[in-house]
Structure 1
Amino acid sequence: MKKTLLLFIIAVFAAIAVACGSDSGKEEKTEPASTTTEEKSSGDAQKEESKNEEVTVKHQLGETKVKKNPEKVIVFDFGTLDSLDKLGVEVLGIPKKNIPSYLSKYEDDKYENIGGLKEPDFEKIHELQPDLIIISGRQSDSYDEFTKIAPTIYMGVDTTNYMESFQENVNTLAEIFEKEDAAKEELAKIDDAVKELNDKASASDKKALVILANDGKVSAYGSQSRFGIIHDVFGLKQADENIEATTHGQSISFEYIVEKDPDYLFVIDRGAVVGGESSAKQVVENELVSNTKAVKEGNVIYLDPGYWYLSGGGLESVNAMIKEVSDAFQ
């Protein structure tokens, strides 16, 4: 009898011990799951809060409130597209005609075609219901029409204050899309490259002339003009300090080029990117111009019109522009 009672008591204590162990195991497994759920909720809340934040962008055409990290972005300015690409930001639509070759990935069908640079397809843009539209000079006359569809910001580069304007545009994009660290790193590299080129150019007495060739016609660009960055930022001296600063340049003759006799002649071939009939080389390197120092010394430099004419003011294009001039200038 005593033996039976003893066995019964031992069995009861064993059962209690097993039950306690089982409950303890359940508690240990439950706690991490509960913590993970809390962390996930906190992370979601932070993302939602960031999504609802707004950035007030002051630009040439007005002041626009933009939600951070907009998902559906339409871009008309190739320089801005260039910077967004460098920062790893996707876009929804672009004008697909005359896309610079180095941005050819955007010819893919996954990117919507939103019309031409000067002829936006407003019906298509309405249909896409974008969260943000980014424009520049060629679309500025249609700004009010764009604002009826979605928040619209102007991001053209001010050529009279090129680098500050360019940097401000990049920093604005970085703030909107929360890419501040990446933008800071890229801008620092460009600053270093500009300083190196400017130091070299400033120490030289060589003079340069920048021209745009367009199917037999030639225009010159000087300080504070569309391509004035060569003089104002890179530091190359001008062969003519009295060139009229206009968007379309000062119309010149080949006799003018001979008269100014530049040490360096930088040529941008507009026809190469808009379907012109003649090449800049055919136009520029004629019998008259062959008498200049630039031609005799092999210093006629054909700049990439994709960077210079179509998409200036982007992180990649500005970097490439610096390199082209730096490689040519001795």
Structure 2
Amino acid sequence: MTSMKRIMAFALAGITLTGCATTTEVTGPTVISYDHGALDTLLELGLEEKVVAIPHQSLPDYLADLGARLPDAGGLKTPDLALATDLKPGLVLMTGRQGAEALTSFAKEAPVRDVTLEGNDLQAAVNDRVLSLAGYYGLEEVAGVELDALWQHVEAQKATLADAGTVTVVTHNNGNFSLRQEALVYELLALTPAAAPDSVQPVVRGERTFYPVTADVLAQMAPDNLLVVDRSAAIGDEPLAPETLKASLAEAGVSTEVVVLNPGLWYLSGGGLQSVRLQVDEVVNAVR
């Protein structure tokens, strides 16, 4: 959203931004956020001053400048309870990534909110989370304007993809691949997945289900576009060498465009006012 549109959005809610004739302080809790999508939503709502710490480890590049200004709240899987005890935030934002034990421990020091996206409708889930976060600060009207702008942008980008062809999304992890049922790609942008052969069967590990595939299987699927979410790169392990994957597909006579998506944005973030827009734009630039 442009600066002028943001000023207009805050004006609709009766809030004056710093730099205008007067300044009205927005009331609401200070926050430690262990969810980057929730964090970028707070930033887009103009609430950076309410954020008192964030995890620095594997911070996505689009949030890197914030990491230089705020204390380190630990890792996404190793949150720093001692810091929360010292800072006494009014709210801690977490997801299942931190684990039940961390949620329970932090709840003894500050109110904890699980901001995991719920349900099978991505747009509705994003709306619910954005509006509920805005509600802590009385910014529901502002959030509504921001959401309208976001979904208008998504629709405009979606309209450019008529000739995109088939799209397969996979997660790369230490040389292995699994199909990724990416709602932003197949639901929001309505792109067409390449059909998987019957040999691709689900593997259940705990509460998660994976669909492992090899380069040979991807060659059988022969998508026009192959988008890779590189988990290994996102968490600091050995990243995928895309040239190797491209060579395997070429040897099989398959002409597939292979694009490695921004690892931190896709594996460690998403579902926020900023991250959804960034992800949509990256997919559109990759496939059209």
Work out whether the TM-score is over 0.5. yes
CA distance in structure 2 between the partners assigned to 1:239 and 1:206 by the alignment: 9
Shift of 1:291: 3.6
Name the CA distance, whole Å, in 1 between partners of 2:253 and 2:188.
Answer: 25
1:5-53 superposed Cα distances (whole Å, 9 cap, x missing partner): xxxxxxxxxxxxxxxxxxxxxxxxxxxxxxxxxxxxxxxxxx99x95xx
Distance verdict in 2 for CA 1:239–1:136, change over 3 Å? same
- State yes or no: 1:235 paired with 2:190: yes
**What SS does the aligned partner of 1:286 have?**
helix
Is the Cα contact below 8 Å between 1:215 and 1:280 reproduced in 2?
Answer: no
| CA shift digits 1:222-248 (9 cap, x unpaired) | 3xxxx2321122101111368759856
User: What is the Cα deviation at residue 199 of structure 1?
Assistant: 4.3
256, 262, 267: which one aligns with 2:217 = 256
> In the alignment, which of 266, 272, 278 is matched to residue 233 of structure 2?
272
User: 3-state SS of the aligned residue for 1:144?
Assistant: helix
Identity %: 30
Q: When the two structures are aligned, how many residues end up with a matched partner?
A: 256
Residue type at the aligned position of 1:135? M
Counterpart of 1:305 (choices 263, 268, 273) is 263
Flag the 1:180–1:120 CA change in 2: closer, same or farther, 3 A.
same
1:132 equivalent in structure 2:
91
SS at match of 2:280: helix
Q: 1:77 to 1:205 in 2, by over 3 A?
A: closer
Which whole-Å CA distance do the structure 2 matches of 1:248 and 1:307 have between them?
A: 22
How does the TM-score come out when normalised to structure 1? 0.70
Are positions 1:75 and 2:33 aligned together? yes
Cα distance between partner residues in 1 of 2:241 and 2:147: 32
- Could you tell me whether the CA contact under 8 Å between 1:257 and 1:289 is conserved in 2? no
How far the C-alpha of 1:294 sits from its partner, in A, is 4.4
For the 8 Å contact 2:34–2:54, the answer to whether it is kept is yes
Q: Could you list the per-position Cα deviations for residues 171-217 of structure 1 after superposition, in whole angstroms to 9, with x for gaps in the alignment?
A: 1111112223332222112211222344454x558221101122311
Q: Which residue of 2 aligns with 1:287?
A: 248
TM-score (norm 2): 0.79
Q: 1:93 — aligned with what?
A: 53
Report the CA distance between 1:76 and its aligned residue.
0.5
Tell me which residue corresponds to 2:144.
184
The aligned counterpart of 2:10 is: none
In 2, Cα distance between equivalents of 1:292 and 1:147: 55
Gaps of 5+ in 2: 1-23
- In the other structure, the counterpart of 1:193 is 153
Aligned residues of 1:140 and 1:154 also touching (Cα < 8 A): no
User: Which letter does structure 1 place at the counterpart of 2:126?
Assistant: F
Q: How does 1:120-159 map to 2 (within 5 A)?
A: 120-141=79-100, 142-158=102-118
Does residue 171 of structure 1 match 2:136? no
Question: Cα offset for 1:293?
Answer: 4.4
Q: 1:262·1:292 contact (CA, 8 Å) conserved in 2?
A: no
Q: Is the 8 A contact 2:265 2:279 kept in 1?
A: yes
* Distance apart, 1:281 and its partner CA: 0.9
Residues 140/292 of structure 1: CA separation in 2 closer, same or farther (3 Å cut): farther
Q: Look up the equivalent residue of 1:325 and give its one-letter code.
A: V
Larger Rg: 1
Q: 3-state DSSP class of the match of 2:212?
A: strand
Residues 97 and 266 (structure 1), Cα distance of their counterparts in 2 relative to 1, 3 Å cut: same
Distance 1:80 1:311, change over 3 A: same
Partner SS state of residue 211, structure 1: strand
Where in structure 1 are there 5+ consecutive unaligned residues?
1-46, 52-68
Q: CA deviation at 1:120?
A: 1.5
1:107 aligns with 2:62: no
CA shift at 1:159, angstroms?
Answer: 6.7
Contact 2:203 2:212 (8 Å CA) reproduced: no
Superposed displacement of residue 150, structure 1: 1.3
Residue identity opposite 1:116 in structure 2? G
Q: CA RMSD in A?
A: 2.6
Post-superposition shift, 1:322? Answer: 1.0
2:275 counterpart of 1:314:
no
Determine if contact 1:209/1:238 at 8 Å carries over to the other structure: yes
**Larger RCO: Structure 1 or Structure 2 (Cα < 8 Å, ≥ 6 residues apart)?**
2
Partner-residue secondary structure (3-state), 1:92: strand
- The answer as to 2:77 corresponding to 1:118 is yes
